[in-house]
A and B are shown apart, each in its own frame.
Chain A
Amino acid sequence: MPSREKLTPRRVALCGMMVALAFILSYVEHLIPFNFGIPGVKLGLANLVVLLALYTLDLRDAFVIAVIRIILTGLTFGGLFSMLYSLAGGLLSFLLMAFLSRKKLLGTTGVSICGGIAHNVGQLLVAMCVLETGNVWYYFPVLLISGAVTGTLIGLVGGLMVGRLQKYLAGRR
């Protein structure tokens, strides 16, 4: 575990690389929208990095990566408005995944599924506030299923990456 106070070059470099990776994945998703033909559904490739960070770095670093990723991609590809949605979804999903990844209850797939669903719920909550209507909840079942499916994909791939990265980081210590 990296110590809480020390800002070692290694830690800075790792965080920087994670942010860069998240940014690139967001860009890839922006170029090729994997929306499965359903509006509002996204694969959430960048979530892969948040998952990685949660399992390989300490909580504070993972949080910083998640937030910086959202701000950067929001400014580059979206706008302030879409950033609000990403932020709500991202924060809610981060909190849930952070909690679950520290408990040994679920594997990376389960954690990622919960994260995917939480992400969608966060965005629905913002939509509810912005539009001042409860009607958005009619869309919830679709988002529930899509969150579970994309979460599974990300969780499986993420799990493989987490194992490898942990091994690599342990060898490099």
Chain B
Amino acid sequence: MADKKIAGRRDILLLAIVLVIGGICMLIMALRPAAGDGIVEITVDGAVYQQMPLAQDAEVEIAGYSGGENRLIIEGGVVHMESASCPDGICVRHRPISKDGESIICLPNRVVVTIYSKEEGSVDAVA
């Protein structure tokens, strides 16, 4: 780099460190086993809305915060958001989830869908 004020050695080092940390975290998450017999928990605005087994195919209509609506589909141990009333649709474009601790979040409707595996209990109760 021509100018040290823009990007010196320390800047490149910082970038490398951050990328490595992020990469390791992502790798750990990707390598977690699928929670085949886990439960799917749906919360709306912080309160538990519904719980159901991951193994069983289902289609759920979720009444979200302030009139929002989401449709969730569980199929073959994989969960995805079919449709949502919110304008951005981030949760709909979110990749399907199947592993312990993974979640789909719809911010406008305050809907959080999380998978917990049965044996380990909920890891997040501690966090």
B90 adjacent to chain A (CB < 8 Å): yes
A74 adjacent to chain B (CB < 8 Å): no
A13 adjacent to chain B (CB < 8 Å): no
B68 adjacent to chain A (CB < 8 Å): no
Instruction: Specify the chain B residue showing the minimal Cβ separation from A108.
Output: B6
Those of A57-101 within 8 Å (CB) of chain B: 81
A137 adjacent to chain B (CB < 8 Å): yes
Size class of the contact patch on chain B:
35 or more
Q: A81-B108, A131-B105, A144-B25 are in contact. Are A155 and B18 (CB under 8 A)?
A: no
Which among A81, A117, A141, A163 has the highest number of chain B CB atoms within 10 Å?
A: A141
* Residues of B participating in the A interface, judged by any CB pair closer than 8 Å: 3-8, 10-11, 14-15, 18-19, 21-23, 25-26, 29, 43, 45-46, 90-91, 93-94, 101-103, 105, 107-108, 110, 112, 114, 124, 127
A50 adjacent to chain B (CB < 8 Å): no
Proximity bits, A121-142, B CB within 8 Å = 1, else 0:
0000001001111111111111
Q: How many residues of A contact B (CB 8 A)?
A: 37
A113 adjacent to chain B (CB < 8 Å): yes
Residue from the list A40, A139, A148 in contact with B18, Cβ < 8 A: A148
Q: How many pairs, one residue from A and one from B, have CB atoms within 8 Å of each other in the complex?
A: 112
The distance from the CB of A164 to the nearest CB of chain B, in whole angstroms, is 11
Contacting pair A107 B7 (CB below 8 A): yes
Report the Cα distance A51→B38, complex, angstroms: 46
* Residues of A participating in the B interface, judged by any CB pair closer than 8 Å: 39-40, 81, 105-110, 113-114, 117, 127, 130-142, 144-145, 147-148, 152, 155-156, 159-160, 162-163
Contacting pair B18 A145 (CB below 8 A): yes
The distance from the CB of B55 to the nearest CB of chain A, in whole angstroms, is 21
Q: A135-B103, A140-B25, A148-B19 are in contact. Are A109 and B11 (CB under 8 A)?
A: yes
Which among A81, A107, A113, A145 has the highest number of chain B CB atoms within 10 Å?
A: A107
Contacting pair A141 B26 (CB below 8 A): yes
Report the Cα distance A106→B13, complex, angstroms: 10
Residue from the list A81, A108, A135, A140 in contact with B5, Cβ < 8 A: A108
Instruction: Specify the chain A residue showing the minimal Cβ separation from B16.
Output: A148
The distance from the CB of A155 to the nearest CB of chain B, in whole angstroms, is 7
**Beyond known contacts A130-B107, A141-B21, A159-B3: 5 more, CB 8 A cutoff:** A107-B11, A133-B43, A133-B46, A144-B18, A147-B18
Residues of A within 8 A of B101 (CB): 135, 138
Residues of A within 8 A of B124 (CB): 133-135
Residue from the list B18, B29, B105 in contact with A136, Cβ < 8 A: B105
Residues of B within 8 A of A156 (CB): 6-7
